[in-house]
Amino acid sequence: MGYGNKVTETREYIHEEIVLGNYSRGTALPPEREMAERAGVSYMTLRKAVDLLVAEGCLERVAGVGTFVCSTISENKLPRQLGAVIPAWGAPENMDFIMHLSAAARQENWIPKFVFARSWRDRTIADLYQTSDALVTKAIEDLNDLPNDLAEKFRSREKPVVISGGDAVPFGFDSVSPCFTEEAAELCERLHQLGHRRLLQVEQFERRNGGKRFLSLSDNGIGECFRRRYPDVDYDDTTLLVEVPSFGQPFEAIHEKILRLGAKTDCTAIVCPLPFYWGVYSALTDLGLRVPEDVSVVCVGDRLEANYYRPRPATLTPPLHDLARNVFEQIRWRQKNPRQPARNLLFNSCFQPGQTLAAARNQ
């Protein structure tokens, strides 16, 4: 292989490292001798390859400082990088969100880069922030627990940062969250008209710092609506409170909880996160109860395969594809309005009746 081909191959290697997001706009490349060793080429070959990328406007050399990826490089040459922080636990909806966010990123000509974290103190979050053009993160812990240095970066508006799935404006952060108000009111009215007066809500928690952190449905608006509008309804969100152990599956935890309660699971309807559906349904069946003739089941959430569940669950759905699209709308807005105060962008949920909702049995 000729020397020219070796230079071209090395140029392509460096360019691919940039396109993959390993070196984002404005960041410094490692020393050229170190890069040559990584690429398995001579120092002179590496230097020639860098010269090509400098001539193309992808890199710039700063005398006495180093070589940098050009901050002004066009999106046609280098798609922008979206850093995405995903909770490092086995919630299936997190994997679905990755799929929808990746699809939205392709349409927007961004490259997503994902990291998984269990704590805001995980250094990968700060590193991802530094190397990305924008950051989206789910609330992996309470936002009150954000380290001060990371919170200051998020509020600096140096680059767009979006909190996904809940209103983060009180903390000074941009966010995207579902609006359940109208749909929850419609669902509550329907349940009330069908005669449901005793409902159980599944709630998931984890133990953290001697307390409980709730992970599921507290902000879906259903319980609040019942308590405000229908005082004759007993809406119980404590009986089916479950702790899902690390690396455990939520549907297994709720299945075991309902079986242990047995006859104490005395209700006409159960409201649960969509990933819990099979655990709830199978436990009720194992207890000899029919869905929906004896107990109705209403789910909250979105899953890629939900249309193939049988029986199809009645579902209050915040569409994940809308969440992903609105993340990019929020990013574009922030890029145009760097000095505006934090904004929460709402997107609509929808109710799908399914096959698991019926009139309440006589109690």
pLDDT at 214: 59
pLDDT at 89: 75
CA torsion angle for 275, 279, 285, 287 (degrees, to 10)? Answer: -140
Radius of gyration of the chain from its Cα atoms, rounded to whole angstroms: 25
| 212 Cβ contact list (under 8 Å, min separation 6) | 205, 206
Longest pairwise C-alpha distance within the chain: 85
CA 137 to chain CA mean position, Å: 7
How crowded is residue 233: how many other Cβ atoms within 10 Å of its Cβ? 18
Domains located in the chain, CATH noted: 3-69 (1.10.10.10), 80-177+320-347 (3.40.50.2300), 181-317 (3.40.50.2300)
Q: Return mean pLDDT, the chain.
A: 91
Cα separation, 31 vs 43, whole angstroms: 10
pLDDT at 2: 47
pLDDT at 19: 84
For 317-340, write each residue's pLDDT tens digit: 999 999 999 999 999 999 999 999
pLDDT at 215: 59
For 254-264, write each residue's pLDDT tens digit: 999 999 999 77
For 180-235, write each residue's pLDDT tens digit: 999 999 999 999 999 999 999 998 877 766 666 655 545 678 999 999 999 999 99
pLDDT at 211: 63
Instruction: State how beta strands 314-317 and 350-352 pair.
Output: antiparallel
Where does the pLDDT of residue 20 fall: very low under 50, low under 70, confident under 90, or very high at 90 and above? confident
* Residue % of the chain over a pLDDT of 90: 75
CA atoms within 13 A on the CB side of 10: 26
- Long-range contacts formed by 32-36: CB under 8 A, 24+ apart: 32/67
SS3 for 137? Answer: strand
